[in-house]
Amino acid sequence: MTIAPSPEALGLSMPQWEDLARRWSVPRYRGRQIFDALHRRGARSAAGIHEIPRELRDRLDLEMPIGLPAIVKSEESRDGSVKYGLALADGALIEAVYMPGDPAAAEVNEFEDARAVGEGFPPRVPSPVSRVPAPGKFTVCLSSQTGCAVDCAFCVTGRLGGGRNLTAGEIVGQLYAVLDAVGRKSDSARIVFMGMGEPFLNPDGVIGALDVLFEVIPRRRVTVSTSGITPAFARFAALPRRPNLAVSLNAADDETRSSIMPINRTYPLDGLIRAMRAWPVDPRRRITVEYVLIAGRNDTAQDAQRLVRLLDRIPAKVNLIPLNEDPTYLPGWKRPAEEVIDRFAATLSAGDVAVTVRRSRGPDAAAACGQLKGRTQDPRKAPRAP
């Protein structure tokens, strides 16, 4: 698939296609036919939309060319996940990750394995219900920007500096490029916005993409992760169709959090917690709290106890992510020892906080989601030591 001059067509929602049909003086249902062909049937070009007349196909080709980002690189891990480098129409590079199976179930199972073997786990572990991974399930981790201005100290994407926002069409195109590459269809996909960029700094692009994707993917299978851009919560919370929310907390007090996430100086914890409390959580669902464990920075028993107190009466589940090390871009930043990770999880469990641990099976595993950098780009910022 070549890079199209305009990827916008894939970002139009059903009502927007109907509106375009009206402006082009063709019946509204033609708009619906185009949407269905693209998003339900998987047409990838105007020529492939045989439901509509030839003249309309020609006009589409001319004025709304349909195209996907081009895959320029792929890297497969031992666990079957594949990381893709994609080029957008202007040459900007992003990354997306395909992960087979159900990572949520894998995390739970691995945590329970650890509990069975491990020491120091209290007998009472309110871990989430263990699910058997269904064979057909998979997750795609998507990027929302071409870099990230939020600049968290432990994140490789942050080393790229701020990038531009992806358009809705580029986000949908990114998903379809990955689906085509692995030969899967969107109807069994789970989606996480945990790739490059801060989704809450690109609400137009992300919400535009959700408007399209929610027509074909149930909203409960889509999770948007934010570093805590507090003012954007209300807009996402008010969506008629809301995605699941994940918040990258990474620390439970302002001082620690500001030292690894400078955004915390602008949007400190107390406002963030208020925004989380105001988030309308569906019955029997929870907000995912991501907590990257970094040796010597946020991994003490006291940090864990603070986190328990901070999450008091918030319907949250904590996903502990041992730091993905990167000696080149993050020299000196280390993940804690396994016992420290286990102890941290045990303290949360003892405090009645549901917890899972994302244990990657090696440096190249699916944990790469959340640490993407558009590999061929040179970071604009110097590597940073802790």
Please identify every residue annotated as catalytic.
95, 369
β-strand partners of 248: 290
Task: Look at residue 151 and give the partner it binds from ligand SF4, ligand SAH, none, a contact being a CB closer than 5 to 8 Å depending on partner kind.
Answer: ligand SF4
Asked whether 13 and 208 are in contact (CB, 8 A), the reply is yes
Q: Is 349 among the residues that bind ligand SAH (CB under 6 A)?
A: no
Ramachandran angles phi, psi of 355, nearest 5°: -140, 140
Question: Whose CA is closest to 320, among 335, 330, 332, 331?
Answer: 335
Largest CA distance in the chain: 70
Q: Is 177 among the residues that bind ligand SAH (CB under 6 A)?
A: no
Task: Look at residue 342 and give the partner it binds from ligand SAH, ligand SF4, none, a contact being a CB closer than 5 to 8 Å depending on partner kind.
Answer: none
378 Cβ contact partners less than 8 Å away, ≥ 6 residues apart: none
| Residues binding ligand SF4: number (CB under 6 A) | 11
Q: Is 103 among the residues that bind ligand SF4 (CB under 6 A)?
A: no
**Cα–chain center distance at 38:** 23
Nearest to ligand SF4 of 151, 303 (CB atom): 151
Q: Is 229 among the residues that bind ligand SF4 (CB under 6 A)?
A: no
Ramachandran angles phi, psi of 151, nearest 5°: 65, 40
Task: Look at residue 194 and give the partner it binds from ligand SF4, ligand SAH, none, a contact being a CB closer than 5 to 8 Å depending on partner kind.
Answer: ligand SAH
Query: What residue is closest to ligand SAH based on CB?
Result: 370
β-strand partners of 356: 319
Asked whether 44 and 176 are in contact (CB, 8 A), the reply is yes
Between the alpha carbon of residue 112 and those of residues 138, 180, 321, 323, the distances in Å are 21, 35, 16, 20
Characterize the bridge pairing of strands 70-76 and 354-357: unpaired
Interface stretch with ligand SAH, choices 39-47, 56-64, 220-228, 345-353 (CB under 6 A): 220-228
Taking CB under 6 A as the criterion, which residues in 100-159 touch ligand SAH? 148, 154-155
CA atoms of 6 and 178, how far apart (whole Å): 18
The binding track of 148-187 with respect to ligand SF4, each residue x by CB under 6 A or -, is x-xxx--x-xx-----------------------------
Contacting residues toward ligand SAH, per CB under 6 A: 148, 154-155, 194, 198, 225-227, 248, 250, 290, 292, 321, 323-324, 370-371
Contacting residues toward ligand SF4, per CB under 6 A: 148, 150-152, 155, 157-158, 197-198, 227, 248
